[in-house]
């Protein structure tokens, strides 16, 4: 499966090493130096995948991911970090790779991300979420979610076991950093609990982490 890949890379030498590796696998690669150029390039030709090489100490990779996620929602992002570096959890990237890693590992991650097609179904416990139709199945029951409900549940299901802060969720779903009033988030969580929990008053899937945010987990965890 070949794709149009947008490589965000400040170091020309590193780009010269990575781009040929991608092109050898049949991918078309465009190289830009920062997230602003990435957004401009994507407005001309929308990429199938973004690789953000944040090995340079002058390059704030997680922050660049945040900017790209806001402007290019729906495009998978691979974030490459320097050896021993740890990004703050959770990051906006779909995949984080710390150097050193093999080209095979990178290609496997690319293949996995590109295999996400319309109609993909996420599963957890007795839940099944169709991302194309925003339909949620729980056992024999089915629900039609609103776009925001679907996006919020998708984020939870893609990050099982992780504590997701209110700031992170507001940014990803509503594209805002404003935390003066997060009632909108709480209301949507309440709506989701009525659909995914056997007893919304005693949630199993979607737990509140007081003072921080929420954590999604399957019943067996």
User: How far apart (Å, rounded) are the C-alpha atoms in residues 90 and 163?
Assistant: 8
Query: 62 and 145: one domain?
Result: no
Q: Is the pLDDT of residue 156 over 80?
A: yes
What global pTM score does this model have?
0.61
Query: 106 and 125: one domain?
Result: no
Last residue within a domain, chosen from 114, 129, 154: 114
26: which 2 tokens?
């049949």
28: which 2 tokens?
């078309």
User: How far apart (Å, rounded) are the C-alpha atoms in residues 127 and 124?
Assistant: 5
Query: 109 and 139: one domain?
Result: no
pLDDT at 38: 86
Query: 126 and 109: one domain?
Result: no
CB 207 within 8 A of CB 215: yes
Number of folded domains that form the chain: 2
pLDDT at 90: 59
The model's confidence at residue 43, banded by pLDDT at 50, 70 and 90, is confident
Sequence-ordered strand ranges (E) for the chain: 4-8, 28-32, 49-53, 77-81, 95-98, 121-124, 127-130, 135-138, 141-144, 163-165, 206-209, 213-216
205: which 2 tokens?
């899937």
Range of the domain at 14: 4-114
pLDDT at 57: 66
pLDDT at 128: 94
pLDDT at 87: 61
Tens digits of residue pLDDT in 186-200: 999 999 999 999 999
The model's confidence at residue 60, banded by pLDDT at 50, 70 and 90, is confident
Burial pattern 3-35, b for ≥16 Cβ within 10 A else e, equals: bebbbbbeeeeebeebbeebeeeebebbbbeeb
Number of C-alpha atoms within 13 angstroms, CB side, residue 66?
Answer: 18
User: How far apart (Å, rounded) are the C-alpha atoms in residues 164 and 216?
Assistant: 9
User: How far apart (Å, rounded) are the C-alpha atoms in residues 54 and 26?
Assistant: 24
β-bridge mates for residue 208, sequence order: 214
Query: 52 and 153: one domain?
Result: no
């Amino acid at each position: 499966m070949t794709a149009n890949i947008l490589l965000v890379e400040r170091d020309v030498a590193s780009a010269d090493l990575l781009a040929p590796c991608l092109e050898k696998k049949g991918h078309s690669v465009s190289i830009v130096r920062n997230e602003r150029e990435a957004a401009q390039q994507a407005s001309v030709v929308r990429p199938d995948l973004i690789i953000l090489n944040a090995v340079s100490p002058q390059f704030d990779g997680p922050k660049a991911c945040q900017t790209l996620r806001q402007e290019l929602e729906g495009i998978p992002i691979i974030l490459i970090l320097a050896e021993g570096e740890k990004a703050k959890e959770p990051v906006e990237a779909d995949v984080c790779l710390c150097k050193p890693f093999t080209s095979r590992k990178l290609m496997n991650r690319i293949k996995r991300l590109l295999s996400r097609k319309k109609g993909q179904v996420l599963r957890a416990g007795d839940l099944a979420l169709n991302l194309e139709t925003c339909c949620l199945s729980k056992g024999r029951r089915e629900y039609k979610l609103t776009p925001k409900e679907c996006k919020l549940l998708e984020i939870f299901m893609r990050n099982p076991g992780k504590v997701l802060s209110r700031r992170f969720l507001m940014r990803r779903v509503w594209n805002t950093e404003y935390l003066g009033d997060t009632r909108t988030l709480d209301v949507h969580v309440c709506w989701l609990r009525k659909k995914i929990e056997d007893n919304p008053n005693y949630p199993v899937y979607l737990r509140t982490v007081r003072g921080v945010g929420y954590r999604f987990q399957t019943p067996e965890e």
